Structure 1
Amino acid sequence: MHLFNTTTPFFDIFLSLKRHYPLILQLVKREVISRYRGSLLGLLWSFLNPILMLAVYTFVFSVIFKVRLDQEAGVYYDDQFAFALLLFAGLIIFNLFSECLSRAPGLILANVNYVKKIIFPLEILPWVTLGATLFHAGISFLVLLAFLLMIDHPIYWTLVYLPIIIFPLLLLIMGLSWLLASIGVFVRDIGQFIGLLLTVLLFMSPIFYPASALPESVRDYLFLNPLTFIIEQARAVILYGQLPDWAGLAVYYMVALLVAWGGLIWFEKTRKGFADVL
């Protein structure tokens, strides 16, 4: 099977999103609401969770361990909140990536009833997961900005570049999600493997440290991790007021688009066998 010998056009990556947007939006709302259904505080938990986590990070790393960034590891090295901000910003990006990919192998298995319905567009299921995860990531970013205001940290105008930085990561997530959702139908163990891989990525990503804190000989290998560049760029525009690395972003966009296209092609080629396996 030649993967790119296909009738799936390149811009079909966005076709299902455009064509089924009302359905995707409805399913995203259901996904978000169902997460907190039955709880006393309901949707309020989506705000409380990041607030409590940021408070814990600030207390633990600023008061108990009193972690400081040295001058070469980043600006605001003398700020007692620097490490908590660095950690929280990195975790927002990682959680966005991690939640989508950890759920991807089970997407089709969890929606077997949709497989039997010929008219249901199965390719939108990763969009639904991404939409719900983006909702919570957006709230976490709002909490981060509110905290920056509270501690009188500058809010830089470079923040406007954040969507441009995040978008290629979303394309990468979609491509990998389509791929894993398909493989998960035929190879049930893939979910366990992805869980282990995400744990490794957690510690191999510059979440608990800035990439600049590592020796240059090691730093280049760290950027083989697809999360490293996005985490560093997001911190740059939010916390440091630096412009994005446009050349690096251009390369990332090209790779992410190819991954998204390849993932969709694989999904479309294998979906015909879903009903036979399930």
Structure 2
Amino acid sequence: MSKALTLLADLVNVPKTMATLIRYREAIRILTWRDFRARYRGSIFGILWAVAQPLLMMLAYTLVFSYFLKVRFGSSDSPTVFAVYLLCGLVPWNAFAEGINSACSLIRISPNLVKKVVFPVEVLPVNLTLVTMIQQLIGLGLLLMLVLVVGNGLTLWILLLPFFLLLQFMLQTGISWLLASLSVFIPDFRQATSLLTLLLMFITPIFYPETLIPERFRFLVTLNPMAQIVGMYRRVLMEGLPPTLEQILWAGGMSLLFWMVGFVWFNRTKHAFPDYL
């Protein structure tokens, strides 16, 4: 009972405790920019890889699912339209999957920072999420250009894109806090998370429309916050429609829940990290 009350008190104090991240915003900015530049340091094409990766994946999956398997989105038979629908899912999913997989080794590869008493170790998962989302913004720029060429044009609903990014940031950071902490104590979480994200990629309607899922399994999409976020991108960019109330409430509620629980768990366990490194 006392543990439950303590956890509840921690959740209530989350807004106050989150001031820590605001206090260390300069450290987050410096780390994020450093890690983003490090990804392309020494490569010939540099930041162009951030565009090439989703583009090449889109071409490969379009060939398999559109040409070979004849999967279609909506009423269009055009492989080009399929490719843009696909990219609406790949761009956010790639950032999400990369972020949570990398979170599993985040603490173990940063022992010097973790063992520093004055360093706010809780900013590391935030920094990781921001780096992957910078990559996502580059892919999103490519996606918007393709929508203008292939789609029916952009509507004012694209003003909601920052809201979608905020929901994904909260969801991804919350999960990263959880996985970064749990992987310190249970190293097998890294392998388990890699398998789970692969499974979730095919459960999430990225390569196919939600209508292809049998009705009795449709609840899996409803429970999946990333499926809701992908659906919101597609409604706004490809259909010119606002997200549904169900999508907003479920994605928003789950993102807030993971953000709060992840932050509380990470802060309650971070003091034990040096003993396991």
Measured against aligned partners, the alpha-carbon deviations of 1:86-132 in whole angstroms (never above 9, x if no partner) come to: 21111112112111110111111010001221111000001111111
Q: Which moved more, 1:216-225 or 1:24-33?
A: 216-225
**1:65 aligned onto 2:68:** yes
The structure 2 residue matched to 1:26, chosen from 18, 23, 30, is 30
**Displacement of 1:213:** 2.8
Deviates more, 1:177-186 or 1:41-50: 41-50
SS at structure 2 position matched to 1:179: helix
Match of 1:38 among 38, 42, 55: 42
Asked if the contact 1:156/1:241 (under 8 Å) is kept, the reply is yes
1:229-269 CA-partner distances (Å, limit 9, x unpaired):
11111111111111111343134323321221111111111
Question: How many equivalent residue pairs?
Answer: 273
Separation of aligned partners in 2, 1:253 and 1:179: 18
Contact map agreement 2:158 2:236 (CA 8 A) in 1: yes
How do 1:65-104 and structure 2 match up within 5 A? 65=68, 67=70, 69=72, 74=74, 77-104=76-103
Q: Distance in 1 between matches of 2:235 and 2:83?
A: 15
1:109 aligns with 108
- The answer (yes or no) to whether the contact 1:96–1:133 under 8 Å persists in 2 is yes
CA deviation profile, 1:57-102 (whole Å, cap 9, x unmatched)? 556666x438352xxx52x524331211121111112112111110
Trace 1:121-200 onto structure 2 (pairs within 5 A).
Answer: 121-151=120-150, 153-200=152-199
Pair 1:49 & 2:48 matched: no
In 1, the alpha carbon distance for the partners of 2:211 and 2:17 equals 35
Contact 1:68 1:77 (C-alpha < 8 Å) held by counterparts: no
Deviation of the 1:148 alpha carbon: 2.2
Deviates more, 1:33-42 or 1:79-88: 79-88
Unaligned residue ranges in structure 2 (runs of 5+): none
**TM-score in terms of structure 1 length:** 0.89
Structure 1 runs of 4+ aligned residues shifted over 6 Å read none
Contact 2:81 2:150 in 1 (8 A): no
| TM-score when normalising by structure 2 | 0.89
Q: Percent identity?
A: 34
Unaligned runs of 5+ in 1: none
Please tell me the root mean square deviation across aligned C-alpha atoms, in Å.
2.2
